[in-house]
Structure 1
Amino acid sequence: MQSCVFKLPDGTELQEDDTEFGFNLDKIEDTSPVNKSVLKLSVENVKSIQSKSTSSASQLFFLEANLTSELFELTLTDDFLNYEEYETKDVISLTITFECTTGKSRIIEFLLPIIDTNNNDPKFINAPYTYELSMPFPKGLSLDLLGKISARDIDLTNSKIIFSLDKNDDKSNGFKAEWSSTDSVDKKLHYANLLTTFVINISENLTFNIFATDTGNPPRTTHTTVTITIDKLNSIIKFGSPIYTGNYSTLDLENNHEEELKFNEGDITLSSGIDENIKFTFEVNPAKYQDNFQLKSSNDYSKVQVILKKKLQYIIEESILILTINARKPGTEASTIVITKLSDDSMINLDNSCDNFDGSFIIIILIVLLVIVSIVLVVSIIRNMRYQKDPVVEKTNNANELKPEMTEVARPSSSSNNSQPRRSVTFVDEIKEINIARL
């Protein structure tokens, strides 16, 4: 008696050789509905299904085997709806051991190819994303050190995801997104690299979109948001400008009202490091006018005002006053300079900007340096003239020899008769006496 017999719908019998390396079924799309019949075979001498196994990674059965006395059928199970969620292979494998009525058995592996239709959008994991950064934040650093951005695409044939930002969104300026790697275990999971392209120094939190696009045909795209918040506690304090200038030469200092000083560079603000722990202080040069001024900071500590008090402790006589404003908090501090012109007597013009002040100041310094250098040069020349060596007597052949510019003369000696003869050397405009040793 024959063992288990399987016949195709056209009556062709499946031989042992036909199923030696598996029996290939017709391809189906990954969007096929559950309970869809993928194979029907007429049977003879088949008693039962003895066992079945699958090679799926999830060990789920995506094919259901149904056997009657005359028919064997394979249909898609409910788990097939999530096949791409769990599996990476584009072939379903089901191996069945049949028990024949003759006491024998027959093993057949059924292989069902899957057509990937790219029917799934990439999906961001643990989105949206928020990063708290201290300001200023350096260029060229990856934010994945603070938390990874990843997206998963369950489509079978997509091996990569393209990450990008909206170039037309000003809020994303200074950032760049790119594909980084694939997870070592879950091959459907892809990581993004979010980089800074220049130094980030924002004063307010910002949010922008990041996009994930698969490589299917046609490609599918999804997006989520990235929010950058300011780590105020660890941000470095920085003023909006290193110097502020204002012209108050027309102000009546003797009859003034309380006056908020305005500056050519705008309000005195902090561009980074703003938080409630900041303490503002100031110093006035000359120091005796310190009590004529006071500082007022805004409620959010982002701006500070310089107030000229209504009643002055000292009448200001200087044409220029310089205030140094300091901002401090634990771990960081910064300063800015405030220059106020209070009289037209000053050589410095502050009407336009601090650039004019810098130029005039540099010219004055150069003039002073030139005068100092000139004085030093003149003094050096005079000292060299004074310390030139006097003419001396040179010895030649153990005898004293006078230089040509010297003239030897004899002078009477005013000393006693026992004293030695006295000679002199005469110059045109000066006589210096020297003793000549006895020959």
Structure 2
Amino acid sequence: MMGTRYKCLVTVFLILLASPEISHGCEMEGVIFWHFWQDVSIQDVFEGVVVNRSTSNILGIQSVTQTLTNRGPYMEVLMLDSFFIIRTNESFKYYEEYETSHQISVATTFNCVGGSTNSLTFIITVNDTNNNDPIFRPDDVYEFTMIPPLPPGFQITNNLNQILVRDIDLTTQRINFEILDNSYFIIDYDASSTTPKEFLASLKTTTFIRNIPETIEFIISATDVDLTGDPRRTSNATIRIQSDGSFELPEELVFSQTFYLADYTEENQIRLQEPITLQQGYHEQVTFSLVSGISILDEH
């Protein structure tokens, strides 16, 4: 009996404490305790009304403060008749371009009937969608000038020669890079970027490249990896690698054939059935030698 009495007293006491906040001053649909923030969420592609609440005893808006973002404001806040409205403005369509935060705080102070004021904060969560392609910067053609020869594992990209992709989606974690139809180079994701929304690639040789007689050109792709669960998006760029011409090793000698047939005569002479020729590496006079093991048997 005593326990029930105390419980009733506590309940009445709490109601009395809360009742001044409920009964006097500003009132808004869905709001009991004004010092608790209100949670709402929208997608990053949303445009329109975010909050629409009926009110009473509100004379108008005294001030609005929007925080948790780098730029903005991204929301328009107003009273329309007796309704409190928060809606996106023109800047919100560029939200992902400048922001990394997933939330916008909108704190509003109201002028209430009777001369008092009340403040209420809405936390607007912006849910990411994969609505932006990865974009190569500054454009989708990269040209590198090298001094051959290039050893295996040689780093083509560096601080001055970068392959950079910008992806403005809020939850992009990394970029997967691939090379299309070229086995002389390999490309990987480089996690060294400290700039939000920018992702680097590392381009290296896979084999020894003796010289670059003409421009090497191939295509690379960039595919985003994010937390949205949406289909991934891919963009392509062109890579061109050329020699600066200041130094080149002579081309490696390559015979036109692997085997040459010859006849051995009774006069102890060797007569080739067809001439020995080179398909690569000849620039001036070339000396051919007949070698067995490490001993030179004949020389021409």
- Please classify the TM superposition score into its range, dividing by the shorter chain length: 0.7 to 0.9
Contact 2:153 2:205 in 1 (8 A): yes
Q: Is the 8 A contact 1:90 1:115 kept in 2?
A: yes
Structure 1 position 226, deviation (Å): 0.9
Contact 2:255–2:279 (Cα < 8 Å) also in 1: no
Q: For residue 137 of structure 1, what is the aligned residue in structure 2?
A: 150
Partner of 1:209: 219
Q: CA deviation at 1:236?
A: 2.9
After superposition, residues 248-327 of structure 1 pair within 5 angstroms as 264-266=277-279, 268-269=281-282, 304=283, 306=285
What is the Cα deviation at residue 47 of structure 1?
2.2
Q: 1:23-422 counterparts in 2 under 5 A?
A: 23-25=38-40, 27-33=41-47, 36-127=48-139, 128-145=141-158, 146-166=160-180, 169=181, 172-181=182-191, 183-184=193-194, 186-201=195-210, 202-216=212-226, 217-233=230-246, 235-241=247-253, 264-266=277-279, 268-269=281-282, 304=283, 306=285, 337-339=286-288, 354=289, 357-359=290-292, 362=295, 364=297
**What are the Cα deviations for residues 98-122 of structure 1, in whole angstroms up to 9, with x where unaligned?**
2223222222111222222211111
Letter in 2 for 1:219: R
- CA separation in 2, counterparts of 1:192 and 1:67? 50
Q: Match of 2:186, as an amino acid?
A: K
1:1-12 equivalence runs, <5 A:
2-8=24-30
Distance 1:150 1:5 in 2: 52
**Paired residue type of 1:41:** R
Task: Decide whether the 8 Å contact of 2:107 with 2:119 is kept in 1.
Answer: yes
Structure 1 residue 155 displacement after superposition: 1.1
Aligned CA distance change for structure 1 residues 105 and 182 (closer, same or farther; 3 Å): farther
CA contact (8 A) 1:267 1:305 kept: no
Q: C-alpha deviations, 1:34-93, integer Å up to 9, x for none?
A: xx1111111222222222222243320111111145111111111111111111122222
Calculate the aligned-residue CA RMSD, in Å: 2.6
**TM-score (normalizing by structure 2):** 0.76
1:254-282 Cα offsets, whole Å, 9 max, x none, are xxxxxxxx85223654xxxxxxxxxxxxx
Q: Contact conserved, 1:152 with 1:189, CA < 8 A, in 2?
A: yes
2:254–2:280 CA contact under 8 A, matched in 1: no
Mapped partners of 1:362, 1:221: distance in 2: 59
User: Which letter does structure 1 place at the counterpart of 2:32?
Assistant: Q
Between the aligned partners of 2:215 and 2:120, the Cα distance in structure 1 is: 63
TM-score normalised by structure 1 residue count: 0.53
Question: Would you say 1:15 and 2:32 are equivalent positions?
Answer: yes
Distance in 2 between residues matched to 1:243 and 1:120, nearest whole Å: 53
Who is 2:266 aligned against?
none
**Partner SS state of residue 157, structure 2:** helix
Task: Report the Cα distance in structure 1 between the residues aligned to 2:207 and 2:279, rounded to whole angstroms.
Answer: 26
Identity %: 28
Any idea what the Cα deviations from partners look like across 1:312-364, whole Å, max 9, x if unmatched?
Answer: xxxxxxxxxxxxxxxxxxxxxxxxx423xxxxxxxxxxxxxx5xx02187065
1:174–1:105 Cα change, 3 Å: same
Where does structure 1 lack aligned partners over 5 or more consecutive residues? Answer: 9-13, 245-261, 270-303, 307-336, 340-353, 366-439
Q: SS at the partner of 2:191? A: strand
Quick check: 1:30–1:116 contact (8 Å CA) kept in 2? yes
SS of the aligned residue for 2:93 comes to helix
Distance 1:182 1:155, change over 3 A: farther
Q: 1:84 to 1:182 in 2, by over 3 A?
A: farther
Contact 2:251 2:280 in 1 (8 A): no
Change (3 A) 1:7 1:199: same
Distance 2:296 2:284 in 1: 31
The one-character-per-residue Cα deviations of 1:9-39 (angstroms, maximum 9, x if unpaired) are: xxxxx122xx4341012x3222223xx1111
Counterparts in 2 of 1:360 and 1:74: CA distance versus 1, 3 Å: closer
Deviations along 1:401-438, one digit per CA (max 9) or x if unpaired, are xxxxxxxxxxxxxxxxxxxxxxxxxxxxxxxxxxxxxx
Larger radius of gyration: 1
Check conservation: 2:291, 2:297, Cα contact below 8 A.
no
* Contact 1:243/1:338 (<8 A) preserved: no
Q: Give the Cα separation in 2 of the matches to 1:360 and 1:153.
A: 60
Instruction: Give yes or no for contact 1:182–1:188 (8 Å, CA) kept in 2.
Output: no
Contact preservation (8 Å) 2:190, 2:202: yes
Q: Which has the higher contact order (CA 8 A, sep 6+)?
A: 2
Q: Deviations over 1:127-146 (max 9, x none)?
A: 32110011111221222224
Unpaired runs of at least 5, structure 2 = 1-22, 257-274
SS in structure 2 at match of 1:238: coil
Q: Which amino acid aligns with 1:3?
A: G
What displacement does 1:163 show?
1.4
Q: Secondary structure at the match of 1:266?
A: strand
